[in-house]
Amino acid sequence: MNEERSDTMKLPIIITPGENGWIVAECPAIPGCISQGKTKEEAIENIKEAIEGCILTRKEMGLPPVEEIAELEVAL
C-alpha cells in the first residue's frame, strides 16, 4: 500500500559532476550527507535514501535531524 507521508521535508541538495563521469549529490543541511549516481536521476534517488539514513542516525545520536542553513546568492 502506498501511503502519503504527512511529515514531508523539503531539503536543498547540490548536484555536481564527480570523478569518472559520476554525478555527486550532497545535502548541505546534513553535514556529511553525500551520495552519487551514474545519472542525475540516480544521484537524486540515492541522496534521498542517504538523507533518510542520516536523519535516522542523527536522531539516534540525539542530534537535530537537520542543521539550519542560509541560502544566499552573491553577484560578482
pLDDT digits (tens, 9 = 90+) for 9-57: 899 999 999 989 999 999 999 999 999 999 999 999 999 999 999 999 9
What are 46's three cell numbers?
Answer: 540515492
- Encode 61-70: b = buried (16+ Cβ within 10 Å), e = exposed: eeeeebeeee
- The size of the chain, in residues, is 76
Question: pTM score > 0.95 for this model?
Answer: no
